[in-house]
Amino acid sequence: MRVYISVDMEGCSGVVHREQTNPIGYDYESARTLMTAEANAAVRGAFEGGATEVVVSDSHGGNGMRNVLIDRLDPRAELILGSPRRLGQLEGLDDSYGALFLVGYHTRHGSTGVLSHTTNGQAVANVWIGDELVGEIGLNARLAESFGVPVALVTGDDRTVAEAKEQLPEVEGVVVKKALGRYTARCLHPERAQQLIEQGAVRAVKKADRLGTEPLGSPVSIRVQFKETGSAEAAAAVPGAVLVADDTVELSCDSVEQAYAGYSSMVALWEPAWGGWIRG
């Protein structure tokens, strides 16, 4: 079984503040180390559970998706690094994979949880696929499901795992910290957090074949509410995108993959100098 691991930073144990997730911030290098270590724990567990190949995607937008320390990554895994990417946090995912892991993830914008936001926290307020309000977990789950790939593991704070289980009841969830506020958490020691992730990854691989997927039918609409009107106006330049409110753009597509790619383009127009659609 091929396993795809998308690893973000905000949901890692020990990460609680924006400065840790920004390359110019204090403690960023420490957060990179924690992110890499949690990715490694998921890689170890995937192989122990029976994976034959593992691909890791650096899915944190800070530093242009160049955060995982490749020289410290488990050498059995390959790493997707850098941006821009048509499919953002899931670049390269296809129907050849048997499971998707979302490691170090966080809750959506407007929800309680450590460093909650949806993709680009400075630009995006809310995202809907059809009538479903989604964050990064829901957005990525829908894309994976369109390829027939189940989300088998989600790790992060307790609110993040709860959000995942609302949408994916059978997913393996690993809580590495308890959210006490947006910038405060009760964190497990990194060694303990990594141990739990490794154990969860083993269980996730073993049950992945039993996890069902429910791909959306066609057409697929994606609606994006931005935090200010100028961003919506810029996003409306994407072919097929329509302003449906002063701050909101909607795009109708033939597939989730096209909708996801369209979303990538819309958000990239907000700040193209960063070289990517997502800030993570």
Query: Any idea which residues carry the catalytic annotation?
Result: 117
Q: How many residues does the chain have?
A: 280
Q: How far is 172 from 158, CA to CA, in rounded Å? A: 13
- The secondary structure of residue 227, as a DSSP letter, is S
Token pair 């949880």 in the structure block, residue = 113
Residue 275 structure tokens: 């070289």
Q: How far is 50 from 271, CA to CA, in rounded Å? A: 41
First to last CA, the chain: 27
Tell me the torsion sign for CA atoms 194, 195, 201, 204.
negative
- Asked if 147 and 93 count as a contact pair (C-beta separation under 8 A), the reply is yes
17 Ramachandran zone, left/alpha/beta (phi>0; psi -120 to 50):
beta
Residue 253 structure tokens: 């597509």
Query: Using alpha carbons only, how large is the chain's radius of gyration in Å?
Result: 17
Residue 197 dihedral angles phi and psi, to the nearest 5°: -65, -45
What angle separates helix 158-167 from helix 136-146, to the nearest 10 degrees? 40
